[in-house]
Amino acid sequence: MKCSRCKAPAVVSLPSHHSAFCEACYLDFFTKQVEKGIRKQKLFTHEDRILVALSGGKDSLALVYELQLQGYNVTGLHIDLGIPSSSAPARNSTEAFCTKHNIPLLVKEMEKEGLAIPMVKERLRRPVCSACGKIKRHFFNKIALEEGFTVLATGHNLDDEIARLFSNTIRWDIPYLGDQGPALEADDEHGGFIRKVKPLWRLSEWETANYAFLRGIENHYASCPYSKGASFTFHKQVWATIENHMPGRKIDFYQGFLERGQPLFAQASEKQSDPLHPCQRCGFPTSAGVCGVCRIREALAEGQ
Amino acid sequence: MKCSRCKAPAVVSLPSHHSAFCEACYLDFFTKQVEKGIRKQKLFTHEDRILVALSGGKDSLALVYELQLQGYNVTGLHIDLGIPSSSAPARNSTEAFCTKHNIPLLVKEMEKEGLAIPMVKERLRRPVCSACGKIKRHFFNKIALEEGFTVLATGHNLDDEIARLFSNTIRWDIPYLGDQGPALEADDEHGGFIRKVKPLWRLSEWETANYAFLRGIENHYASCPYSKGASFTFHKQVWATIENHMPGRKIDFYQGFLERGQPLFAQASEKQSDPLHPCQRCGFPTSAGVCGVCRIREALAEGQ
């Protein structure tokens, strides 16, 4: 197989783009896809101060690496969840990577916040994934605003977005569909939400893994011991089958949604959705009186 | 396994309804699902004169049988497509069934219309499925209107509807999504479209096949030799996997669409869709100057 651009021997085959690339052309392809994703959805500019959420996995490390290469002003943020088997390797991997590549890094420890995930899991006595997600999003937002960043970027790739879109679509959850996309606008009115963006939205998990491999991005990522059997894993398998049968369908589904579906859902859900207010405890926006994270804190305090 | 209703030994298991049934309770379940489908979507009443399109397959025969049992005024319509290997058994099966059950039957032969499908296929030199679909829908509509029926019913089941909905959704085809549902209203203004309904929309292919089996509905249906590898077959496989993993998801996807998705798409596509006019040749509605079937006739005439 030869590179579709320069005819050198190809190292990566991309049926969804009807292409194959050598190493140099693949890295260029990846860069162009990220550029196109940023430009088409107006995610940010070189004037922005971008906080990049770094889990220590290949997606977020590939993202911050590529954005730095493209000359953006980036800082990493790692949330140390305090999970024995996975948090230490994730944090070490992130710290080593940022040191090696001169990327400024902030680390926030949930242990010090009284929110170490194993303790939350034990006390709440229900699946912890939803609470963990709320906690991470809360601190991403809080730190981004407190430290004066203008945008928060996460490493969600096309497969993550497709799994979420598919889950929202088969339930026809109009408010969630109206809110989904590579950019979620800032909300300054109700206590403050930072603008959130997903610059890897055009690139699949496999394409990002290839990039990480070719760039020599090492990660010693241990998967979370609590997240087994999540429904998104099943949705990703379904879409792997669809993409294999109809190459290119994933990006078409997502782009078609952004162009023709999302605007309808956003308009319809404006009429339905609960208005936001500042949380009575922490001041960050919530549609309830007290936000999800403050309610977790209260539940933990009651259990003591 | 015991029947969920009467505790007799069960013969049918229905994970999507968290139920299992004995023969009598299954037949009652099927009847109630058809009744609910008619009532919820206001498909027709006992005052209507219903023309039922009968291919000779189990779905359409099960439909006309059940509607007759429920006391509706039904007449069958069979289109003889003139395909050597499949049309004769389909027609024989339909005629024998209608004779046995005293169901009035109309038969229309495409050969006599100059539209026998093998000839159309040979002359058009492209995949014939789309042309064949157009031809069938044209004659369903024409005969229903000419013979004074008030509604046309087809045997499309939940799996047919899901495959179509899924295909429309992953392409975000807003006009097609806006038009999809168990009932398509009549259009008297632009030359005339009969009201079209799908009373089996709540029942899967498997549930309908079980009903046909338990009712002793014989069909000697030979599958069409031209329809191999249709994309709907793949979509049905995808949804079989989803339903197996999450029982009940199919009907939820379809009902959620009808309640929350379809109204948004219908509203949006009203603004976009091409207006209908009477076809310049046959007078039936079309968004072009000449309708699809008359264009097929013209293409055939040019080829001679």
Each residue's pLDDT, cut to its tens digit, for chain A (304 residues) gives 899 999 999 999 998 899 999 999 999 999 999 999 999 999 999 999 999 999 999 999 999 999 999 999 999 999 999 998 899 999 999 999 999 999 999 999 999 999 999 999 988 877 888 899 999 999 999 999 999 999 999 999 999 999 999 999 999 999 999 999 999 988 877 668 899 999 999 999 999 999 999 999 977 667 788 876 566 789 999 999 999 999 999 999 999 999 999 999 999 988 666 778 888 999 888 888 899 999 999 988 886 6
Distant-in-sequence contacts of B169-174, Cβ < 8 A, 24+ apart: B169/A169, B170/A242, B170/A249, B170/A252, B170/A253, B170/A256, B171/A252, B171/A253, B171/A256, B172/A253, B172/A256, B172/A257, B172/A259, B172/A260, B172/A261, B174/A260, B174/A261, B174/A264, B174/B265, B174/B268, B174/B269, B174/B272
Residue ranges of alpha helices (H) inside chain A are 23-40, 58-69, 87-100, 117-124, 129-146, 158-170, 174-179, 205-214, 231-245, 249-256, 262-272, 292-303
- Bridge partners (DSSP) of residue A78 are A107
Residue A250 contacts residue A166 (beta carbons within 8 Å) = no
Contact A242 B170 (CB under 8 A): yes
- Whole-complex ipTM: 0.88
Q: Looking at the domain assignment, is residue A284 inside a domain?
A: no
Among partner residues A241, A256, A265, which is closest to B171 by beta-carbon distance? A256
Contact B170 A261 (CB under 8 A): no
Q: Do B141 and B6 share a structural domain? A: no
Q: Do B54 and B11 share a structural domain? A: no
- Beta sheet of B73-80, edge-to-edge order: B105-109, B73-80, B49-53, B151-153, B196-197, B183-184
For residue B46, pLDDT beyond 70: yes
Query: A-chain residues within 8 Å CB-CB of B258?
Result: none
Q: Write down the pLDDT at residue B42.
A: 97
Q: Which helix (H) or strand (E) holds B24?
A: helix B23-40
A169 to chain B, any CB pair closer than 8 A? The answer is yes
Q: Which helix (H) or strand (E) holds B140?
A: helix B129-146
Q: Looking at the domain assignment, is residue B61 inside a domain?
A: yes
Q: Looking at the domain assignment, is residue B239 inside a domain?
A: no
Q: What is the mean pLDDT of chain B?
A: 92
Q: Looking at the domain assignment, is residue B247 inside a domain?
A: no
Query: ∠ CA(A117), CA(A118), CA(A123), 5° rounding?
Result: 95
Q: Which of B224, B244, B278 is the last residue of a domain?
A: B224
Give the chain A residue whose CA is nearest to the CA of B171.
A253
Among partner residues A234, A256, A264, which is closest to B264 by beta-carbon distance? A264
Among partner residues A174, A242, A260, which is closest to B172 by beta-carbon distance? A260
Query: B-chain residues within 8 Å CB-CB of A229?
Result: none
Q: Looking at the domain assignment, is residue A115 inside a domain?
A: yes
- For residue B92, what are its two tokens? 């024989």
The residue among B161, B165, B168, B170 with the most chain A CBs within 10 A of its CB, best to mutate, is: B170
The residue among B162, B168, B169, B172 with the most chain A CBs within 10 A of its CB, best to mutate, is: B172
Q: Can you state the percent helix, strand and coil of chain A, rounding each to 5?
A: 50, 15, 35
Q: Do B103 and B1 share a structural domain? A: no
Query: B-chain residues within 8 Å CB-CB of A245?
Result: 234
Q: Do B3 and B87 share a structural domain? A: no
Write the CATH number for B104.
Answer: 3.40.50.620
Q: Based on the structure, what is the number of domains in chain B?
A: 2
> Would you tell me which residues 202-231 of chain A have a C-beta closer than 8 angstroms to some C-beta of chain B?
231
Q: Looking at the domain assignment, is residue B36 inside a domain?
A: no
Name the least confident of A232-236, B10-14, B25-29: A232-236
Q: Looking at the domain assignment, is residue A286 inside a domain?
A: no
Q: Write down the pLDDT at residue B222.
A: 73
Q: Do B58 and B6 share a structural domain? A: no
B118-140 mean pLDDT: 90
Q: Write down the pLDDT at residue B272.
A: 66
Q: Do B207 and B71 share a structural domain? A: yes
Q: Do B195 and B74 share a structural domain? A: yes
Q: Which of B224, B258, B289 is the last residue of a domain?
A: B224
A265 to chain B, any CB pair closer than 8 A? The answer is yes
Query: ∠ CA(B138), CA(B144), CA(B149), 5° rounding?
Result: 160
Q: Do B90 and B190 share a structural domain? A: yes
Q: Write down the pLDDT at residue B83.
A: 93
Q: Write down the pLDDT at residue A14.
A: 93
Q: Write down the pLDDT at residue B276.
A: 82
Q: Looking at the domain assignment, is residue A209 inside a domain?
A: yes
Q: Do B93 and B7 share a structural domain? A: no
Among partner residues A171, A231, A256, which is closest to B172 by beta-carbon distance? A256
Higher-confidence residue of A282 and B69: namely B69
- Residue B3 is part of which domain span? 1-29
Q: Do B130 and B201 share a structural domain? A: yes
- Bridge partners (DSSP) of residue A76 are A52, A105
